[in-house]
Structures are given as structure tokens and as C-alpha cells.
Chains A and B, each alone.
Chain A
């Protein structure tokens, strides 16, 4: 009898350690894949860094593969501006949604609204692009500014704002809802209104999660490709204001880093292909910068208490 029990015990321990190994294995595979992708991109981009030079690659405003001119600055500006525009348009909306769902909406409203916002995240980006082309671009074209064709940063920012909305809204909502109810009750019991409680207790307590939401949204915005290609105009040019109003820069056509790769990789060879891989590396670094600054922001916020 004791023999069977201990045999079973040994079997259990064996399963346990086997499970540990399997899980470790899957973790290692994921890390390895990420590393390999990074290394491969870097390796393919190496000729570009060697023959063109990092500085010319990053600061050059001319991108003419036919003349072996590979400057990425216009595309960097395009990506940064379109992301900025998307954040300006989308962030207030997304955070408003999150606060509404987490703090204001009665249960049945949340049951309806939340899945519909999450549904937005499931729409393929090409459909967003289509919507942008057919609805937003003609609308933007109505703005009376010389040279405005509708395709450009503004249309792209609007499309992107809708695309990052579900990501930011749902992650921020989870962050708000995970704030302990005791905090809210403590604040209300001191005579604070719901709004004061939200502003002074709930949102600060959810700060790190809400920041994570914004970073996820930024990452998504910087990485979006097909929808951008469809509405941004894809011209390799430095975005510039058409009139004395600096905001008209958003009516300028542009190209994103992602779009640059997707549009040209099919026919690129040699140095041109390497320059496109270098574009990928720049994109990668840009996203790492966003993540790192979010982390730094978070750390300094923590220290302030």
C-alpha cells in the first residue's frame, strides 16, 4: 500500500518538473524568436549603416533609391507627426471612454458599450483604411487650403485615432477598475464628490496602468501600416505647412516608416533593400524609446508618491 502511494508521489513530482521544463521551453522559444527577428533585421540592415552612414540615414531628407539617396528623416517626421495627431485626437476620447465605463456607466450600459468598443479592435486595419479613403479623405478635402488633396497626415491621424481607441480605452478601464473600492469609499466619506474622488484618488492610483495603456496605443500607432498607406498619400516629402497657419502641416502628404517598407520591399534589391531593413531598425528603436520614456515617467511618478 505504502509502495503505491510513494510511487504515485514520485509520478506527481515527475509530472511537476516536466511541466516546469515545458513552460520554460515555451518561454525560451518566444524570447529566441524575438531575438532572432531583431538580429536578422539588424544583419540585413548592416550594409545600409555601413555604406550610407547612420547620420545621413537619420537626418537625410531625400529618399531616391534610383540615385542611391537614402534619407529617412521625412518618414521619421511622418510617423512621429501622424502618431502625435492620433494621440491628440484619440487620447481624450479613449480616456473619456475608460472613465465612463469604469466609473460612471451603470452595469447594463457597460455591458453594451464595452463589447462594442472591443469590437473596434477586431476590425482589420485594411477596413479602417477603406473607411478613411471613402469617408474621411473626401471630408478633409473640403478644407480650403491650397494643395490639399485630402490624403495626408490629418486623414491618417483620424484613422489612427479610431484604431488606437479600443486599445487605450480597454487597458485604461481595467486599470481604473482595479483601484480598490476602499479608496473611493474613503474619499467619498470625507465629503469628496464623485468627480473629486476620480480626479484626486482613482486616476492617480491607476496612473501606471493608464500610462501602460497610452504606451500600448503609441506602439500600435507607430506600427500601423496598411491603413496608413491607404490614406496618408505616401509621398516622400517633408511635411510642411501650406499657409502661414502651422496647423496646415497636417494637410500635407507624408509617408510613414512602416509604409516605406511595405510599399518598396517587393522590388528592392541591394543597398535599397538594406535601407528598408534599416527603416525597420529605426522603427524598432523608436518604439523602444517610447517604452523607455514611459518607464522613466512611471519611476519618477512613483518617487513623488
Chain B
């Protein structure tokens, strides 16, 4: 296996006194899609948000252990530059109430790109990479809120791509979408992984099996803390899981 793009070592997360994630050590391989699956409340989203330090927005959150990006401790990085390198797409499409263009240009602008030409080119490139360009190119000044849910989610992907990240975190990106829009997102993921490392949380096991290269299975223990039960190539997890709990979960016996 190549050098991991990101890595967690003995990572624990606490909400006040409650331990939500228990000592997770896991590698995120580069230019692959890593899926995180598990039942509701097992800490999948919390774990995902650890990679770009979004949990810090919640008061009372404390972490121990390490999270590395290209070998560097992300807690020693400036949070702004970390989030430039590790982008995020949320469960519900959340375009800003601005035009399509302004949504995609938002990140580049705050990071100092002002020139009209290169900005327009970057917006076009990002929208193309998110497979949305052909549907919106005629009117980039249209409000982003007038797009369909699936288009909005691809716009959010384009918005994340526009800051040229290395890693993209996706928190159940298709759970609010219809099957056709979901399929489009899943196809898009396959082209994106050529250039990006993708970590995706999903409650949909078929989706994890379809799209991902590696799968991590999280489960809460008796104290309701999320533990990493098993991590490996998706094919192996879904055909010959080593842990009986993984087998129970993927065969639908609980969760």
C-alpha cells in the first residue's frame, strides 16, 4: 500500500465527559475512495469531521491522539490552510444564497484570487469537474437556490474543488437525493478519485460496496463510544469480513 494521504493514530474524541470516538487508528490511502459505514450514532460523521477539524466548532469537544495529513499533524497546521487542503461536502446540499458563479468563486476569492480571467477559468474547470457545467453554463448568474437538489449537491462539490484540495470529505452526500441524482454523484466520484483522495460516510451499504475501494466499519461499544471494528479493501470487507460483527452488520442482522 502506498504512503497514506491521511492517517489517524489513537484518535479519541470527547463531548465534555462523553467519549464519542474510542482510539481509532486508520489510514486513508491516496487517490482512493474510502467509505465509512456503521449504524446511526456510531460516530461516522464525527470521525469524518475530524479530518478537517470541523468538530472544533462545537463547544466542549476535546480530542486526543493524532491526525496526520501527508505526515504532518493537522493540529499544528493553521486551520484555514488545513481546510483548503481538506474540503468537505455536506449531507444536505448547502449552496450559499448567491449566484452559481459566486458560489464556486467563493473559496478562491477568500483565498485571494481576484483576477477576472483566471477566476472565470477556475469556475469553469471546477463546474466541469463536478459534471455540472453543461447544465448551467448558459446562466452562471442564476441563483444557486434555483437548481435541483442533485445539481445543488454537484455545485457544492464544484465549490469544494475550486479551492483545489487534496482530500474531499463527503458526509452522506447523496442521502437527500433521488436515485438518479445519486447515480450521477456516484459516477462523479469515480472520475474525481483520479485527482483527489475521497472519504465518504454513508449509511447505504450498497453504495459503499459500489463506489469505494476501502471500507471502514464503525460500531459503538457498551459505553456508546464509536470504535473501528474493521478496515480493509471494500471487496474483502463485503465478502470475507474478519470480524463477526462486520458480517452481522453487512448481512443486515442489525443497524
Beta-carbon nearest neighbor of B162 in chain A = A190
Beta-carbon nearest neighbor of A182 in chain B = B94
9-residue interface stretch from B83-91, B177-185, B213-221: B83-91
Residue B40 interfacial (CB < 8 Å): no
A191 and B163 contacting across the interface, CB-CB below 8 Å: yes
In the complex, chain A residues 185-200 whose Cβ is within 8 Å of any chain B Cβ = 185-193, 196, 200
Distance in angstroms between the alpha carbons of A188 and B83 in the assembled complex:
8
Binary interface encoding of chain B residues 40-61 relative to chain A, with 1 for a CB under 8 A from any of its CBs, else 0: 0000000000001010010100
In the complex, chain B residues 167-210 whose Cβ is within 8 Å of any chain A Cβ = none
Can you pick out 13 interface pairs between chain A and chain B where the beta carbons lie within 8 Å of each other? Answer: A180-B94, A183-B94, A188-B54, A189-B83, A189-B88, A189-B160, A190-B159, A191-B107, A192-B80, A200-B106, A200-B110, A305-B141, A305-B142
A185: chain B residues within 8 A (beta carbon):
54, 57, 90, 94
* Given A205-B97, A305-B143: A186 in contact with B110 (beta carbons within 8 A): no
A200: chain B residues within 8 A (beta carbon):
106, 110
Distance in angstroms between the alpha carbons of A107 and B60 in the assembled complex:
12
Interface of A toward B, CB cutoff 8 Å: 106-107, 180, 182-183, 185-193, 196, 200-201, 204-205, 305
**Smallest CB–CB gap between A302 and chain B, Å?**
9
* Given A190-B87, A191-B83: A205 in contact with B54 (beta carbons within 8 A): no
B107 and A190 contacting across the interface, CB-CB below 8 Å: yes
Cross-chain contact of A186 among B52, B156, B163 (Cβ < 8 A): B156
Distance in angstroms between the alpha carbons of A191 and B111 in the assembled complex:
8
B141 and A190 contacting across the interface, CB-CB below 8 Å: no
Distance in angstroms between the alpha carbons of A193 and B59 in the assembled complex:
17
A196: chain B residues within 8 A (beta carbon):
110
Residue B11 interfacial (CB < 8 Å): no
**Smallest CB–CB gap between B49 and chain A, Å?**
9
Distance in angstroms between the alpha carbons of A193 and B78 in the assembled complex:
11
Distance in angstroms between the alpha carbons of A5 and B120 in the assembled complex:
67
Number of A-B contacts (CB under 8 A): 69
What is the interface of chain A mostly: helix, strand, loop, or mixed?
helix
* Given A182-B92, A200-B106, A200-B110: A190 in contact with B143 (beta carbons within 8 A): no
Beta-carbon nearest neighbor of B169 in chain A = A189
**Smallest CB–CB gap between B5 and chain A, Å?**
18
A189 and B143 contacting across the interface, CB-CB below 8 Å: no
Q: Which among A107, A180, A190, A192 has the greatest number of chain B C-beta atoms within 10 A? A: A190
Distance in angstroms between the alpha carbons of A200 and B110 in the assembled complex:
9
Distance in angstroms between the alpha carbons of A107 and B58 in the assembled complex:
12
B80 and A193 contacting across the interface, CB-CB below 8 Å: yes
Distance in angstroms between the alpha carbons of A183 and B144 in the assembled complex:
13
A191 and B98 contacting across the interface, CB-CB below 8 Å: no
B64: chain A residues within 8 A (beta carbon):
none
A201: chain B residues within 8 A (beta carbon):
96
Residue B148 interfacial (CB < 8 Å): no
**Smallest CB–CB gap between B53 and chain A, Å?**
10
A190 and B99 contacting across the interface, CB-CB below 8 Å: no
In the complex, chain B residues 210-243 whose Cβ is within 8 Å of any chain A Cβ = none
Beta-carbon nearest neighbor of A190 in chain B = B107
A205: chain B residues within 8 A (beta carbon):
96-97
**Smallest CB–CB gap between B61 and chain A, Å?**
14
B52: chain A residues within 8 A (beta carbon):
189
Distance in angstroms between the alpha carbons of A37 and B176 in the assembled complex:
52
Distance in angstroms between the alpha carbons of A305 and B100 in the assembled complex:
10
